[in-house]
Amino acid sequence: MHPTAPYVVPWKEETLPDLDTMVGSFGVAYTNPLHDTFQRDKDGILWAVCEGTRTGGPAYARELHPHRQREAMERLLCAGCSGPPARDERGMLWVLPLLDDGDDPGWHCVRTVIPPMCEPCKTKATEACPWLRDGHVELRVKEAEKIGVRGTLYPLPGVEDEPDPDALVLFNTPEEGRVIARQLVRELREVTVIAVRRSTP
């Protein structure tokens, strides 16, 4: 494995194929029944198909690998090595890019698709990942509830709108059946800010 490639980062040879879908009163489905069966989770949410191999080097410009991101977020694994994340009395370690909300956006109840990290991977990731090199915050988090998914949300049948390619769909809402998910989302609560690192010009 590439020494600087976090577990959840896709590689250049890993792609999301443009698969045929259909939308009806049931929601969205792949027209290939095998894809439709194997890409649904236990709650019935349809997930994106990712093909290819972990070759060609990390593709930091793309969003996180849908299957590995989901696994790390479901099981609360380190985004870098897929091992246990760092924990102490203040909670689990999260390292996130700075938000574009001014100098102090507040981090309680922030929603993220980035899994937690262990200490060794924190150091590697903040040096290698351009999202974090440009500025990041280190948090300790006591509670991180799964609240929904990000993905492509398809309109209701008969509505002429285009699909929304980057929608946040909360669990237990009618939109669940019309999304092809790519990322699992958690909301961070009981947050302690440990450090804010800003890039220098």
Q: CB-based burial of residue 38 (10 Å sphere; 0-12 exposed, 13-18 middle, 19+ buried)?
A: exposed
Write down the pTM of the prediction.
0.92
Q: Is 172 left (phi over 0), alpha (psi -120 to 50) or beta?
A: left
* Domain membership flag for residue 136: yes
Beta carbons within 8 Å of 103's beta carbon, 6+ residues apart: none
Show the domain range for 169.
14-198
Domain count, the chain: 1
* Mean pLDDT of the residues in the chain: 91
68: nearest Cα among 85, 57, 86, 80: 80
Q: What is the mean pLDDT of residues 170-178?
A: 95
The 3 state secondary structure assigned to 21-37 is: EEEECCEEEECCHHHHH
Helices (H), 25-129: 33-38, 66-75, 119-128
Burial, 80: exposed, middle or buried (Cβ in 10 Å; 0-12, 13-18, 19+)?
buried
pLDDT > 70? residue 194: yes
Looking at the domain assignment, is residue 20 inside a domain? yes
pLDDT tens, residue by residue, 95-148: 999 876 555 557 989 999 999 999 999 988 888 888 888 889 999 999 999 999
Structure tokens at 174: 């009618």
In a domain, 2, yes or no: no
In a domain, 8, yes or no: no
* Per-residue confidence band for 1, with pLDDT thresholds at 50, 70 and 90: very low
Q: Establish if 161 belongs to a structural domain.
A: yes
Q: Is residue 36 part of a domain?
A: yes
- Contact at 8 Å (CB) between 68 and 78? no
Average pLDDT over residues 55-77: 94
d(CA 37, CA 15): 20
Q: Rounded mean pLDDT of 155-165?
A: 91
Q: Is residue 91 part of a domain?
A: yes
Share of the chain above pLDDT 90, in %: 75
> 7 lies in a domain?
no
pLDDT value at 14 more than 70: yes
pLDDT in tens, 88-109: 999 999 999 987 655 555 798 9
